[in-house]
Amino acid sequence: MVQLSSTLDVVRKSLNGATSRKERSKIGQFFTPAKIARYMASLFQQGRREVRIFDPGAGAGVLFATLIETMIAKKQHPHSIIVTAYEIDKGVIPYLKDTMERCRMICMSAGISFRGEIRDEDFVAAAVAQTDEGLFAAKSERFTHAILNPPYKKINGESVMRQLLYNAGIEVSNLYAAFVWLTVRLLEPGGEIVAITPRSFCNGPYFRRFRAALLGMMSLRHIHLFESRKKAFGDDNVLQENVIFHAIKETEKPENILLSVSNGMDFDNITVRTVPYDRIILPGDRDAFIHLTVSDEDSCAMERMGRFTTPLDKLGVEVSTGPVVDFRARKYLHKLPDKGTVPLIYPCHFKDGFIQWPMESTKKPNAIEASPHTKDMLVKAGYYVLTKRFSSKEERRRVVAAIYDPNLIGDSLVGFENHVNYFHDKGKGLAPNLAKGLALFVNSTLFDRYFRIFSGHTQVNATDLRKMRYPTRDQLIRLGSHVKNHMPDQDTVDTILKKECENNG
Ligand SMILES: C[S@@+](CC[C@H](N)C(=O)[O-])C[C@H]1O[C@@H](n2cnc3c(N)ncnc32)[C@H](O)[C@@H]1O
CA of 485 to the centre of ligand 1 (A): 55
C-alpha separations of 82 from 46, 96, 100, 185, 196 in Å: 16, 15, 11, 18, 22
Q: Note whether 487 and 439 are within 8 A (CB).
A: yes
CA of 458 to the centre of ligand 1 (A): 26
CA of 136 to the centre of ligand 1 (A): 28
Q: Nearest residue CA, atom 25 of ligand 1?
A: 89
Q: Nearest residue CA, atom 27 of ligand 1?
A: 59
Strands (E), 314-439: 318-321, 333-334, 341-345, 350-351, 354-355, 367-369, 378-380, 384-388, 401-404, 413-416, 420-424
CA of 28 to the centre of ligand 1 (A): 7
Q: Note whether 295 and 260 are within 8 A (CB).
A: no
Query: What 8-state DSSP symbol labels residue 159?
Result: S
CA of 176 to the centre of ligand 1 (A): 10
Q: What whole-number distance in Å separates Cα of residue 369 and Cα of residue 354?
A: 23
Question: 385-401: buried (b, 16+ CB within 10 Å) or exposed (e) per residue?
Answer: bbbbbebeeeeebbbbb
Which residue type is seen at 290?
I
CA of 179 to the centre of ligand 1 (A): 10
Ligand 1 surroundings by CB, under 6 angstroms: 27-32, 57-59, 62-63, 86-89, 92, 122-124, 149, 151
What is the reported pLDDT for 295? 86
Per-residue pLDDT for the chain (505 aa), expressed as one digit of tens each? 567 777 778 777 777 766 666 676 666 678 899 999 999 999 999 789 999 999 999 999 999 999 999 999 998 899 999 999 999 999 999 999 999 999 999 999 999 999 999 999 999 999 998 776 544 444 567 999 999 999 999 999 889 999 999 999 999 999 999 999 999 999 999 999 999 999 989 987 789 999 999 999 999 999 999 987 654 444 555 777 899 999 999 999 999 999 999 998 999 999 999 999 999 998 888 889 999 988 888 889 988 998 999 999 999 999 999 999 999 999 999 999 999 999 999 999 999 999 999 999 989 999 999 999 999 999 999 999 999 998 766 668 999 999 999 999 988 999 999 999 999 999 999 999 999 999 999 999 999 999 988 876 778 999 999 989 999 999 999 999 999 989 999 999 999 999 999 875 4
Report cis status (omega within 30 of 0) of the bond before 323. no
Q: Note whether 217 and 233 are within 8 A (CB).
A: no
Q: What whole-number distance in Å separates Cα of residue 401 and Cα of residue 420?
A: 10
CA of 484 to the centre of ligand 1 (A): 55
Give strand pairing partners of 321: 421
Q: Note whether 337 and 365 are within 8 A (CB).
A: no
Pocket test of ligand 1: the residue of 7, 31, 179 to mutate, having most ligand atoms within 8 Å of its CB, is 31
CA of 152 to the centre of ligand 1 (A): 9
Q: Nearest residue CA, atom 18 of ligand 1?
A: 122
Q: Nearest residue CA, atom 11 of ligand 1?
A: 57
What is the reported pLDDT for 135? 45
Strands (E), 390-503: 401-404, 413-416, 420-424
Q: Note whether 463 and 312 are within 8 A (CB).
A: no
Give strand pairing partners of 343: 367
What is the reported pLDDT for 237? 59
C-alpha separations of 33 from 16, 88, 117, 271, 309 in Å: 11, 20, 23, 21, 43
CA of 92 to the centre of ligand 1 (A): 10
C-alpha separations of 17 from 14, 21, 22, 43, 232 in Å: 5, 9, 12, 30, 21
Q: Nearest residue CA, atom 14 of ligand 1?
A: 57
Q: Note whether 172 and 181 are within 8 A (CB).
A: yes
Q: Nearest residue CA, atom 26 of ligand 1?
A: 29
- Mapped onto helix, strand or coil, the DSSP state of residue 374 is coil
Does an H or E element contain 194, and which? strand 187-198
| Predicted TM-score (pTM) of this structure | 0.83
CA atoms within 13 A of residue 131's CA, in its CB half-sphere: 24
Q: Nearest residue CA, atom 4 of ligand 1?
A: 59
Atom of ligand 1 lying closest to residue 125 CA: 19
Which residue type is seen at 364?
K
DSSP string, 256-285: EEEEEEEETTEEEEEEEEEEEHHHHS-TT-
Atom of ligand 1 lying closest to residue 89 CA: 25
What is the reported pLDDT for 286? 87
